[in-house]
Structures are given as structure tokens and as C-alpha cells.
């Protein structure tokens, strides 16, 4: 599989695709973009202009060119000279299968095709492709130009060479790829998010706490630790000097009793209204654009703090 990546084709330039394109550009790559929307070039241009100062703060190459992109209405036209493809079409299996079939037919077989799908299976996506082995999932987290994580899934048909090439590429441009070794709907991180949110919805529906207090229970508590380490390492530290072994021996019976009591909420119209009103109350009516702006600004500060901490440890 091709590993010397200089040009990336970004197919689908909505919120995710435009964010990907800005990030690729900041790492010194050239980008060919395709999207059927007439407004896509303007959206992309605004994304690059807005994100560029932040991308330079977060490790972008000094010689990177924010104008090193071309736009093509036809996705096949965007593939000429591409060394890697990042597909970001809507999360509908039929649309992605048709698109990936066209992309696969137009590319040399040594070019990896990565899909940004948040939950579909790689083996289903590549069903119509002549070279299914080079189709993998490269699922970023929103916004891709800030969040380091990329989930890479080869699935039942993806070749080890394609997975290795995708992992190497993402790592080379400053991402933190993880390999999902078995296909499951939703991959890994979304399943973890969904499990937590299911219990969060249950606690609101049962009147245990308000939406705002449930959110604060995470953002003002374990969420701060999760920016630094995952759940296993967190509980390893909770075991004190004995670490995970002590935690499992002394605290696991309590944890399993909580597991047995976790809820399975029915998200009916009443619960949905509780969530909508609760979010509005908890955010003081701030617009989604304003909340995203605050989130992104805080993410940059967290990423910079983590980078400083990692440098101090080396």
C-alpha cells in the first residue's frame, strides 16, 4: 500500500470533511476536495481561514500552504494524483457504498480509501468494491482538526497492509490512531459514549438529577481526569499503591452492584422533552455556534497543556 502520502482526496466537504481538509493542509499536504453542494467551496474556505491560526499553534508546519487545495464537483475528478482518500459522505450505507464503488474503480489498487463513518461496518462499506482490501474506516472525532483520535478498522475484508498504511499515515501527521481489531457497530469510542449517555438519560428520566447536574457530574469530575487518561488507568490510580490489583480486589464488588442497577431508558416523547428543556436550561440558552466556539477554544488550551506536560516528561 502507498505510504508516501503527499496528496489527499477529501470526498465530502461538510463539517467533517472541511475540518479534515484544513488539518491535512496544515501538515503540508495538498488536498483535492469534492462535494455536491454548491456552497461547499465557501464553507471550506471559511473553515480553513478560521482554523488556520489554531492549527499553526497546534503543530502545523511553518511551510504549510492554506491555499494548496482544489475543488471538484465530480468526486472522480478529485482522485487524480491522490495518495490517500478520506471519504466523508452522509452516514447512509447505500450512499457510501455507491460512492466507494466509484472511488475504488478510479484509483490504483495501492491507494488506501478511508471512510469517516461513525458507526457503519467496513465490510459492508466495501461490498461493491473490486478491491475491498484497501477500504478501511478512519473515523475521526469532531472536530477532526482538533481532536487527535482516529479509529482505524479493517474489518473482515480490510487487508493488514491497508490498516498499517492508514495507521502510519495518521500517526505521521500528528493524529493518535487506534486499531479496532473486531468490527462492531459504532466502533469503540462511540460505544463508550453511548453507554455513558444511556445511563445519563436514565438518571434524568428517573428524576435522580437534572440534565445540568448530570452534565456537571462529568465535566466537573471524571471528565477532567479523562482528558489525561482512560478509565482503566483512572481506576488503576484509584487502587492507590496496590493499583489495579487492589482496586479489583477491594472495590469491584461495589462496582458490579452498580452495573446490576444501571438503567435501560425508554426515550419516549416525555423523556425527549425533558432532555431538550434540560439542555436549554443548563446552557442558559446559548446557541450551538457559541457552545462550539467555547468548546473549541477550551480544547486548544487543553491540547497545549497536554503537549507541555508530555514535553516535560521526556
Give the DSSP letter of residue 53. H
Domain final residue pick, 180, 210, 235: 180
Quote the CA–CA distance of 220 and 238 in Å, as a whole number. Answer: 18
Sheet containing 176-180: give its strands across: 69-72, 30-34, 7-11, 84-87, 112-115, 135-140, 149-153, 176-180
CA distances (Å), origin 92, targets 95, 125, 154, 302:
6, 10, 19, 33
- Reading the block at residue 180, the C-alpha cell is 479496532
Residues 111, 19 share a domain: yes
Residues 105 and 201 in one domain: no
Whether residue 311 is contained in a domain is answered as: no
Q: Kindly state whether residue 308 falls inside one of the protein's structural domains.
A: no
Phi and psi (nearest 5°) for 51? -85, -20
The answer to whether residues 153 and 64 belong to one domain is yes
For residues 158 and 228, membership in a common domain is answered with: no
Whether 153 maps to a domain, the answer reads: yes
The stretches of the chain forming alpha helices (DSSP H) are: 15-26, 40-57, 93-106, 122-125, 160-172, 189-205, 211-219, 222-226, 231-238, 243-260, 269-282, 288-313
Co-location of 203 and 104 in the same domain? no
- For residue 301, being part of any structural domain is answered with no
Q: What is the pLDDT of residue 176?
A: 97
Q: Is the pTM of this model over 0.85?
A: yes
Of the candidates 130, 144, 121, the residue with the CA atom closest to the CA atom of residue 8: 144
| Same domain membership, residue 263 and residue 158 | no
Q: In which domain, by residue range, is 217 found?
A: 189-282
Last-in-domain residue among 161, 180, 199: 180
Check whether residue 197 and residue 157 sit in a common domain: no
Asked whether residue 267 falls in the same domain as residue 155, the answer is no
Q: Is residue 151 part of a domain?
A: yes
**DSSP secondary structure of 194-245:** HHHHHHHHHHHHTTSS-HHHHHHHHHTTHHHHHTTS-HHHHHHHHTGGGHHH
Quick one: 143 and 207 in the same domain? no
The reported pLDDT for the residue numbered 295 is: 93
The number of domains in the chain is 2
What is the CATH classification number for the domain harbouring 216? 1.10.1040.10
Same structural domain, 44 and 113: yes
Q: Is residue 114 part of a domain?
A: yes
Per-residue pLDDT of the chain (314 residues; tens, 9 = 90+): 999 999 999 999 999 999 999 999 999 999 999 999 999 999 999 999 999 999 999 999 999 999 999 999 999 999 999 999 999 999 999 999 999 999 999 999 999 999 999 999 999 999 999 999 999 999 999 999 999 999 999 999 999 999 999 999 999 999 999 999 999 999 999 999 999 999 999 999 999 999 999 999 999 999 999 999 999 999 999 999 999 999 999 999 999 999 999 999 999 999 999 999 999 999 998 999 999 999 999 999 999 998 888 778 77
Compute the C-alpha angle 275/277/282, nearest 5°: 90
Asked if the structure places residue 147 within a domain, the reply is: yes
Specify whether 73 is located in the same domain as 207: no
Distances (CA, A) of 174 to 59, 179, 222: 8, 16, 26
Q: Are both 172 and 202 inside the same structural domain?
A: no
Q: Give residue 79's pLDDT.
A: 97
CATH number for the domain that contains residue 25:
3.40.50.720
In a domain? residue 294: no
Q: Are 110 and 161 in contact (CB under 8 A)?
A: no
Amino acid at each position: 500500500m502507498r505510504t508516501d502520502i503527499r496528496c489527499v482526496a477529501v470526498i465530502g466537504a461538510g463539517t467533517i470533511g472541511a475540518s479534515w481538509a484544513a488539518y491535512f493542509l496544515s501538515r503540508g499536504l495538498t488536498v483535492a476536495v469534492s462535494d455536491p453542494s454548491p456552497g461547499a467551496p465557501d464553507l471550506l474556505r471559511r473553515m480553513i481561514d478560521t482554523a488556520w491560526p489554531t492549527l499553526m499553534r497546534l503543530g502545523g508546519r511553518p511551510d504549510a500552504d492554506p491555499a494548496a487545495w482544489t475543488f471538484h464537483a465530480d468526486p472522480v475528478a478529485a482522485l487524480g494524483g491522490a495518495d490517500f482518500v478520506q471519504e466523508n459522505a452522509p452516514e447512509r450505507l447505500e450512499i457510501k457504498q455507491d460512492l466507494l464503488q466509484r472511488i475504488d474503480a478510479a484509483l490504483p489498487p495501492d491507494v488506501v480509501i478511508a471512510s469517516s463513518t461513525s458507526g457503519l461496518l467496513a465490510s459492508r462499506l466495501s461490498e461493491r468494491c473490486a478491491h475491498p482490501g484497501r477500504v478501511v474506516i478512519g473515523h475521526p472525532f469532531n472536530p477532526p482538526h482538533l481532536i487527535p483520535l482516529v479509529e482505524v478498522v479493517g474489518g473482515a475484508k480490510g487487508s493488514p497492509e491497508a490498516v498499517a498504511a492508514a495507521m502510519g499515515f495518521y500517526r505521521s501527521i500528528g493524529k493518535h490512531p487506534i486499531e479496532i481489531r473486531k468490527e462492531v457497530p459504532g466502533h469503540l469510542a462511540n460505544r463508550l459514549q453511548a453507554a455513558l449517555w444511556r445511563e445519563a438519560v436514565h438518571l434524568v428520566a428517573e428524576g435522580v438529577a437534572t440534565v445540568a447536574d448530570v452534565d456537571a457530574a462529568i465535566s466537573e469530575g471524571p471528565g477532567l481526569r479523562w482528558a489525561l487518561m482512560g478509565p482503566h488507568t483512572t481506576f488503576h490510580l484509584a487502587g492507590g499503591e496496590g493499583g489495579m490489583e487492589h482496586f479489583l480486589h477491594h472495590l469491584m464488588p461495589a462496582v458490579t452492584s452498580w452495573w446490576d442497577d444501571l438503567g435501560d431508558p425508554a426515550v419516549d416523547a416525555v423523556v425527549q422533552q425533558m432532555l431538550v428543556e434540560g439542555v436549554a436550561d443548563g446552557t442558559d440558552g446559548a446557541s450551538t455556534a457559541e457552545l462550539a466556539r467555547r468548546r473549541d477554544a477550551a480544547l486548544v488550551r487543553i491540547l497545549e497543556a497536554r503537549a507541555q506536560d508530555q514535553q516535560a516528561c521526556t
